[in-house]
Amino acid sequence: MTPEVFELPILIEPAEIDELGHVNNVTYVRWVQDAAVAHWRARAPPADQARLFWVVLRHEIDYKQPARLGDTIVARTWVGAASRLKFERHTEVVRESDGRLLAKARTLWCPIDAATRKPSPVSPEVRASFSSDAPLE
């Protein structure tokens, strides 16, 4: 199964630029999270959105090229392998003008039941829509 790629356009704000003249590394973490949340809200059924929250268990980010004020950025994200309570999500941050990869991330997410605030398996529909067929090790 080829995972669906979701794209989120990003506008760089002046406050995101650090003393080196490029986007601060912490901003990329926010972009990774923003892309994941936007994907969930755009594609998950309303009942599942009301029933589940997602928490990050782990972020891994490789920074490749700096982003600067004036760049048009796109975060591309898709869900990879999954276990019962862990979902792997991949994100690439690219500069739109030349397609250069600026950063790539791998994040592990855990679904949390909104009522109990405890880890919760997802419905078969969510699993089919938001994970590949590969098991997460």
| Phi-psi sector, 68: left (phi>0), alpha (psi -120 to 50), beta | beta
Supply the pLDDT for residue 60.
Answer: 97
Supply the pLDDT for residue 134.
Answer: 60
Q: Write out pLDDT tens, residues 2-58.
A: 678 999 999 999 999 999 999 999 999 999 999 999 999 999 999 999 999 999 999
Helix (H, G, I), strand (E, B) or coil at 29: helix
Supply the pLDDT for residue 137.
Answer: 59
Given a contact cutoff of 8 angstroms between Cβ atoms, the answer to whether 88 and 80 are in contact is yes
Split at pLDDT 50, 70, 90, the class of 127 is confident
Q: Write out pLDDT tens, residues 55-78.
A: 999 999 999 999 999 999 999 999
Superfamily of the domain at 6-130: Hotdog Thioesterase (3.10.129.10)
Task: Kindly tell me if the per-residue pLDDT of 1 is higher than 80.
Answer: no
**Cα separation, 43 vs 37, whole angstroms:** 10
Supply the pLDDT for residue 136.
Answer: 64
Domain boundaries in the chain?
Answer: 6-130
**Amino acid identity at 118:** K
Supply the pLDDT for residue 77.
Answer: 97
